[in-house]
Every structure is written in structure tokens, then in C-alpha cells.
Amino acid sequence: MEEQPAQFLVQYCKAADYNAATGECAAPFYGPASSFPPALDVVEGIQVSAVIIGAWAIGFYIKQARRTANV
């Protein structure tokens, strides 16, 4: 039997139930916590890192090319 991962619950309040004068919620409820950014495994993390580094490298190359063209 596989063990299920722990689910974190957080307290929410609908805008209609929130009293701004008192700072209290008339009907709070609990729901699952947001998972942004989503959990990544090692391969997905490396892929995202490669895209970020690639975008930075292209920008750096363009910056250097403009700098040498203006000299």
C-alpha cells in the first residue's frame, strides 16, 4: 500500500464574508494550499535551469554585440 503525501490545509475566506471594519471572516473554511510553483523532479528542474541560462546567454550576447558595434 502506497503512502499518500501529506496534504496541507490553509484557512480561506470569501470576499463577501470578510468584514473590513473588524478584520474578521464570518465563515472561514479550509482548503488545500496552493502549489505554485509546482513541485519539480530533478530532470524538470535542470530543464528549467537550462532555459533560464540560455535566455540569459542570448541577452548577454546581444548586449556584447551592441557594445562592440558602437565602439
Query: What integer pLDDT is reported at residue 69 of this predicted model?
Result: 87
How do residues 4-22 score in pLDDT, each as one tens digit?
667 788 999 999 999 999 9
Domain ranges of the chain: 9-69
Residue 59 has pLDDT above 80, yes or no: yes
Three-state SS for 9? strand
pLDDT tens figures, 31-48: 988 777 777 889 999 999
C-alpha neighbours within 13 Å on the C-beta side of residue 3: 2
What is the band of 30 on the pLDDT scale with cuts at 50, 70, 90?
A: very high
